[in-house]
Structure 1
């Protein structure tokens, strides 16, 4: 089925305010989701929530949904807007984030192909409680609330898939809440760098080179801090020989020492 490409005016209406770092947004190799967690285990389990459907059931899902295309920087949905359904990522990467009244943002997760976004509402009504922004060109299957209700009745297996998908999302945000509530910000930073190294790192002797482009602003939004604090701590980590930061990558020089900061409660 061909993609439904929005007109320039429609795209403009649903685009977030221009961000100075848009061209430097996190790009995750390998299509792996990412959120704040004590380990990398289970980060991508939500991408398989439709695996139990039969081929004909997947075809029905595709035929009833709306196929949309978003460009990098487009708002897929915006905090405060009316909730009309859910979005299944077919390709590309999406950042989901909450914006406080002060304007400060916290990144909830980076989602990739296979994941659905736009919850927790499933049947429509209410308003989105966070926003979703395309980090790269994305293909999205949008399932309006009215369609979701018909599919749940017509395909009982799909209802179970939604329950499993919501359970995965619940575990994700529970892991994030646990990190924010029980770990110091320096522990969260050390854990985040460790997770990036495990997910996207390449071994170079005892060191690990992180092959993911990430800025201090993006790290701050993920660990719940400020860019100034992250910059200060990254300089401290460099001075202590834990990491080396270059314009191209972050190199973890002493992975075991960095991980010990997490297990021992930071320093």
Structure 2
């Protein structure tokens, strides 16, 4: 009896499911902040900007702030709204994004517990130049501008902590600006996939399984492109054997090939 080799060939061409046992995929951003950068080093530096506060200083800080709660999908602040203080994330995840006049969005960062959002204004005045939305149920400590000024004057240690937090934010947005200004969009896509592999990857031989839920819309907003372009490039990467994609996972089949894509520019 002859075998139908065409069926076998078609089956072999399909993306194979992960061969390792995996926990449920993480929901972006995961355990630490995420923004467009040339690596994952320093992504979460800003989460520790208040670590130097003494217990009594923390008590004074909380007494000056207001506890706020946000449900998944709720706006924490909106682009164009008046600015009145900063928000410290005590639980949950927040996406900060800019919306162009055309309606197109670019994700600036995903922030997690310990980070503050709502800058760059610190002491009130002006308007928010981007928006923040809760990706999960969030608990936020809001420090109004008058309270912030009072704490800076009365607690020098807090003022130093705030400077550290601002420095971390500056490094974040500098990294994003460098990526957008010096890397092609395909290099940014390749670098973002590498970063996801470093953050959420599980090794399976030479391959890396990204054990996180990520949509083409999320990728597009992060790398500064469109969902249609991302979909096209992901299909191309699959055709070239760089990736395999299933409903739950992205599997990087050839990690070194992706790394070569982002390193060749310096050659």
- Alignment map for 1:13-162 (pairs within 5 Å): 26-29=27-30, 31-162=31-162
1:261 corresponds to: 261
Q: Is the 8 A contact 1:184 1:265 kept in 2?
A: no
When the two structures are superposed, what TM-score results if normalisation uses the length of structure 1? Answer: 0.89
SS state at 1:264 partner: helix
Structure 2 gaps of 5+ residues are 1-25
Shift of 1:166: 0.5
CA distance in 1, matches of 2:66, 2:262: 44
Shift of 1:72: 0.4
Shift of 1:26: 4.9
Shift of 1:154: 1.3
Structure 1 gaps of 5+ residues are 1-24
> CA offsets per residue over residues 5-52 of structure 1, 9 Å max, x none?
xxxxxxxxxxxxxxxxxxxx95333x2100000011100000000011
RMSD of Structure 2 on Structure 1 (CA) = 1.4
Runs of 4+ in 1 over 6 A off after TM superposition: none
CA distance in 2, matches of 1:118, 1:244: 38
Q: Is the 8 A contact 2:74 2:134 kept in 1?
A: yes
- Structure index of larger Rg: 2
CA distance in 2, matches of 1:59, 1:48: 17
Q: Is the 8 A contact 2:29 2:111 kept in 1?
A: no
SS state at 2:107 partner: strand
Number of residue pairs the alignment of both structures matches: 242
Shift of 1:153: 1.1
SS state at 2:190 partner: helix
More displaced, 250-259 or 75-84?
A: 250-259
CA distance in 1, matches of 2:253, 2:55: 47
CA distance in 1, matches of 2:141, 2:199: 27
2:10 corresponds to: none
More displaced, 118-127 or 209-218?
A: 209-218
Shift of 1:168: 0.4
Shift of 1:79: 0.2
Q: Is the 8 A contact 1:96 1:131 kept in 2?
A: yes
1:4 corresponds to: none
Q: Is the 8 A contact 1:77 1:132 kept in 2?
A: yes
Q: Is the 8 A contact 1:187 1:265 kept in 2?
A: no
CA distance in 2, matches of 1:123, 1:28: 29
